[in-house]
A and B are shown apart, each in its own frame.
Chain A
């Protein structure tokens, strides 16, 4: 059968190394993908509704529970929105230390994805433990860096899972100088390892798969964007986070319990690759030179370069955490007073997986009247479907089901999706011409 006349459907039942519940269905007719849906059947969290009536501190502590790996991102977007309503301006010390803490989350999330979820795909292993037997040094390095990210979060938040250190106006508690000095020793060792990591991922056999897509991220006046910035795209968008809803539209599709999103009617990409594409000039010169030396061209249209972007951002995170703690002085007052006030405010920060946008309306007791949260994975869902169609077509629809399934899983995993936020099992079904004739 010639592949250009091939007809059928593909159903992928299992996607490993992502979190949550989803499926991939593809219908192929006459050698072309006629329909493709990334079905998400994870029950909706309904978190926005659960936040109604809660105090601002309850919001900060509750939204951390949305995600096990990026709780801090949820807390940061929430606290930015809340502080804008309450009229609180965090001190420069608070701004700096929140950025350090956020670096910890990038570090642990990116390291886990690179070493345990994505790299086995590119090196042809079915699992991380299988890869670890042949790449023990690389995996141990990754696990150390992940642990170091946890250590940063724990230093400021008391624990690395669902940290509890953040409050409106700042932190409940400032780490003492000795704790930061110990942390800095570990960060310095980690920085050297991160540089080696970039070279390692750049040398992985990544598929060539250039595609056209729109990169959306924050952009800061002078820093690589993490906790603040305007929302920009590589196609000219440049807006304040408050204008998000005028340009971005979330909508329900029949096959997903998670909302899809579009920018001016088109899918778009958020996450490490989009951030790097939009903020190359915000990288330290040393890192730009390293990327040049390694021959990875950024901005990149190859989604599989996301793993390189993650490694680069791990270096950014470590270097930033070191820079911002260089002359650390525990704040005598780690948070500003935050009097109750009514109003509406938004917050947008860069979660490891991309921009995370929150909007809250508070009453005059500063209790939530209405909340809206737009996570990165829902923003990437339409882009993932677009990518799957292009990537599987380029890969070759004539290939057998197992090969298509594996490639489809790799494409999805590459986004590090967070369906609940993220996926653990994905159903993958193919129905071909012969099946249709039965």
Chain B
């Protein structure tokens, strides 16, 4: 059973609808709640291999909906995380599709220091993940920990291909990795 099928009956608990919580109006209201809140953002788009990050966020949003210490959302650009009322004491987990790290479906957890820096450029065309995280670091946000989970895309992933899914075993590994991160607490 694919991850996509596991969640298709449920509306994604994505950022598009979740913005009513941590939206613009609450940007300076991060102090309203205890620090140490965890954010899980799935990066991607609606199509192709890049969809894996959204798919993971949708599935994890359902699986972890009882956790009140966690906000799960989809982002189509990393910089959109600043629409949330993030605070220095919060923790961040980004889930994104990746390439070249193993067979399709491989999960890999990166610290900020381990993130490949090849794409860490600041250009007039936007901020990529590494550039956004450099700003996050400079702004002193998410001091309680930043992790990035990569999910290997299918080898032939392209915008035109059928959207990939995660099989049950892969979804379980992802769930376990996220639970482990959540329970590890500060500094992870």
Contact = CB atoms under 8 A, between A and B. Distances in A.
Interface in A272-290: none
A133 B140 CA distance: 8
Interface in A245-261: none
A185 B27 CA distance: 12
A437 B45 CA distance: 58
B124 interface: yes
A150 interface: yes
Contacts, number: 113
Given A151-B19, A158-B46, A132 B24 contact: no
B161 interface: no
A117 B124 contact: yes
A27 interface: no
B135 A128 contact: yes
B127 A132 contact: no
B76 interface: yes
Interface string A119-144: 00000000111101100100110011
B180 to A, nearest CB: 29
A190 interface: yes
A146 B139 contact: no
B139 A112 contact: no
Interface residues of B, number: 29
Interface stretch (B31-39, B59-67, B78-86, B100-108): B78-86
A418 B125 CA distance: 8
A417 B81 CA distance: 26
Nearest to A129: B138
Contacts of A129: 134-135, 137-138
B20 interface: yes
A68 B81 CA distance: 19
Interface in B1-52: 16, 19-20, 23-25, 27, 45-46
Interface size class for chain A? Answer: 35 or more
Contacts of A188: 25
Contacts of A296: none
B83 A154 contact: no
Contact of B23 (A17, A112, A136, A186): A186
Contacts of B83: 144, 147-148, 151, 186
Interface in B53-103: 76-77, 79-83
A189 B28 CA distance: 11
Contact of A154 (B24, B76, B123): B76
Contacts of A418: 124-125
Interface string B109-139: 0000000000001111111000000110111
A187 B46 CA distance: 25
B138 A133 contact: yes
A378 interface: no
A127 B140 CA distance: 16
B123 A182 contact: no
Nearest to B80: A147
A75 to B, nearest CB: 16
B24 A424 contact: no
B142 to A, nearest CB: 13
Interface string A175-199: 0000100100111111000000000
A132 B136 CA distance: 9
B124 A16 contact: no
A103 to B, nearest CB: 15
Nearest to A159: B76
Contacts of A185: 23-25
B82 A128 contact: no
A148 B76 contact: no
Contact of B126 (A68, A151, A179): A68
A189 B121 contact: no
A422 B126 CA distance: 12
B139 A19 contact: no
A352 B123 CA distance: 15
Contact of B46 (A67, A159, A423): A159
B110 to A, nearest CB: 19
A132 B122 contact: no
A143 B79 contact: yes
Interface of B: 16, 19-20, 23-25, 27, 45-46, 76-77, 79-83, 121-127, 134-135, 137-140
Given A17-B124, A132-B135, A159-B76, 20 more contacts: A113-B124, A116-B127, A129-B137, A129-B138, A130-B138, A133-B139, A136-B138, A136-B140, A144-B24, A147-B80, A147-B81, A150-B79, A161-B77, A182-B19, A186-B23, A186-B83, A188-B25, A189-B23, A189-B27, A422-B123
11 contacts: A18-B124, A19-B125, A68-B125, A112-B126, A148-B24, A148-B83, A158-B46, A182-B23, A185-B23, A185-B24, A186-B83
Interface of A: 16-19, 67-69, 112-113, 116-117, 127-130, 132-133, 136, 139-140, 143-144, 146-148, 150-151, 154, 158-161, 179, 182, 185-190, 416-418, 422-424
